[in-house]
Amino acid sequence: FIPPQEKTQGGAILAKDVLGNPIPAGQILANPAGTRALVAGLAGEPTYLTVRDDGTLHPWGIVDNCTHLGCTFPWNEIDQQFQCPCHGSRYSPEGVVLRGPANLPLKLVRVTVEGEAIWLSPWTENDPRTGNNPWWV
C-alpha cells in the first residue's frame, strides 16, 4: 500500500495506526461485519470505523471522545453499545446517547474509501442523527 499524498482541500487526512502509518482499507475490511476498528483520525483523535454487512466501511466515523468529559471508551460487542467507563454514559452504535450523564451525540467524521486509502474529513453537514447543525462545528 503506497499512500497517496495527503489532501488538504476539505481537511481530509488518511486514517492511521498508532504508529502514524496509513492503514490500508483491506486491513480493516478483512474483519467481520460489525467490527469497530479504532484508528487515529483528524487531529489525532481516535475514531471508530465500522465494517458494514456489505463489506464496506460505514461513511460515519465515530470519534472516541465522550461528550460528557472527554474520556475514551470501548465498543461493547455484546451490548452493541459504546460504554464510557468514566461515569457510565452509553451510546448506540450510531453514537446517540442512550444513557447520561452525556447529553450530546458522539462527534462524527466523514469516511470515504478510494482504493486502499481511507480518508477522514470533517463532518460539517447536518448531523444525520438529529437533522440539526452538528454541535461540534
Q: In what order do the strands lie in the sheet with 13-14?
A: 13-14, 117-122, 108-114, 60-63, 46-50, 36-40
Residue type, 113: V
When the beta carbons of 30 and 69 are compared against ligand FES, the nearer one is: 69
When the beta carbons of 62 and 66 are compared against ligand FES, the nearer one is: 66
* Smallest separation (angstroms) from ligand FES to the CB of 83: 9
Binding site for ligand FES (CB under 6 A): 66, 68-71, 84, 86-89, 101-102
* Smallest separation (angstroms) from ligand FES to the CB of 91: 9
* Smallest separation (angstroms) from ligand FES to the CB of 52: 26
Q: Give the list of residues 6+ apart from residue 110 with CB closer than 8 angstroms, or none.
A: 59, 60, 61, 120, 121, 122, 123
When the beta carbons of 20 and 70 are compared against ligand FES, the nearer one is: 70
When the beta carbons of 59 and 101 are compared against ligand FES, the nearer one is: 101
Outline where the chain has alpha helix (H).
25-29
What is the C-alpha to C-alpha distance for residues 50 and 35, in angstroms, rounded to an integer?
A: 6
* Smallest separation (angstroms) from ligand FES to the CB of 72: 9
